Amino acid sequence: NAGVMQNPRHLVRRRGQEARLRCSPMKGHSHVYWYRQLPEEGLKFMVYLQKENIIDESGMPKERFSAEFPKEGPSILRIQQVVRGDSAAYFCASSPVVYSDRNTIYFGEGSWLTVV
Amino acid sequence: TQLLEQSPQFLSIQEGENLTVYCNSSSVFSSLQWYRQEPGEGPVLLVTVVTGGEVKKLKRLTFQFGDARKDSSLHITAAQPGDTGLYLCAGLMDSNYQLIWGAGTKLIIKP
């Protein structure tokens, strides 16, 4: 059973470039969550998507960041015009139904973005 | 301000010693989870506690959820070098899907 797959695992971008991070949820999971982990900090919620819908993007910066989860293919977190402060680990998680106390969420191994 | 405060932030002890890591909040959580994260990897779930006062054991690890569901602790007995890692607590409020995370406790067990 393949887990949550994220790629690239490591990405280096120069300031001003675009970063695209991809997440393929576990088979049968249609709910995807993105979290960001800054150095020496815990994870912070960014966005929750279902297939073709953004359900909650309250944790995502209003500018430069966008996310999608198309009908076919992986979920994509897109960061335009990256700045040094975007350097972080970005984790994707998935669940078969909306995540709650009654079920389990599964995390990918993360994409480490470094902005130089 | 962190909604979930973890302490200590860093702990380095000798193999064989016992230790406790704390996760505290002024808010009530419907459930609390403990994760372990290795460098360069994603967090891996260790346990979920749901009921106030609940105690769960995982080999040498004992997890407790406070009676008021505002805090939790992780106790490791006879720590081993393989226990080295970053331990993170995370909670759900009102069964909402957003996990709230502590900043983590970096644990080093020296042989």
DSSP string, A45-83: EEEEEETTEEEE-TTS-SSSEEEE--SSS-EEEEE-S--
What residue of B is the nearest CA neighbor of A92? B42
Residue B40 touches partner A, C-beta closer than 8 Å: yes
- pLDDT for position B79: 97
Contacts of B1 (CB under 8 A, 6+ apart): none
- pLDDT for position B78: 97
Q: Compute the nearest-CA separation of A45 from chain B (Å).
A: 6
Residue B30 touches partner A, C-beta closer than 8 Å: yes
What residue of B is the nearest CA neighbor of A46? B98
Three-state DSSP class for residue A7: strand
Distance between CA atoms of A46 and B87, rounded to whole angstroms?
21
Task: Indicate which of A7, A40, A43, A54 best probes the interface with B, i.e. most B CBs within 10 Å of its own CB.
Answer: A43
- pLDDT for position B80: 96
Query: In A, what residues contact B, Cβ < 8 A?
Result: 4, 31, 33, 35, 40-45, 48, 56, 59, 91, 98-102, 104-105, 107-110, 112
Phi, psi of B81 (to 5 degrees): -55, -30
Q: Which of B97, B102, B104 sits opposite A48 (nearest CB)?
A: B97
Q: Residues B90-107: pLDDT tens digits? A: 999 886 899 999 999 999
pLDDT exceeds cutoff 70 at B66 = yes
Phi, psi of B35 (to 5 degrees): -125, 160
- pLDDT for position B1: 59
Residue percentage of chain A with pLDDT more than 90: 84
Three-state DSSP class for residue B82: helix
Residue B31 touches partner A, C-beta closer than 8 Å: yes
pLDDT band at A102 (very low <50, low <70, confident <90, very high): confident
Q: Strands (DSSP E) along chain B, which ranges?
A: 5-7, 10-14, 19-24, 31-37, 44-49, 55-58, 61-65, 71-76, 85-92, 100-101, 105-110
Q: Residues A28-53: pLDDT tens digits? A: 999 999 999 998 788 999 999 999 99
Which strands form B19-24's sheet, in the order they lie side by side?
B5-7, B19-24, B71-76, B61-65, B55-58
- Cα dihedral across residues B88, B42, A64, A55: positive or negative: negative
Distance between CA atoms of B101 and B104, rounded to whole angstroms?
8
pLDDT band at B47 (very low <50, low <70, confident <90, very high): very high
Question: A72 near A12, Cβ under 8 Å?
Answer: no
pLDDT exceeds cutoff 70 at A19 = yes
Q: Which residues in B lie closer than 8 A to residue A102 (C-beta atoms)? A: 95
What residue of A is the nearest CA neighbor of B100? A44
Beta carbons of B97 and A109 less than 8 Å apart: no
- pLDDT for position A2: 67
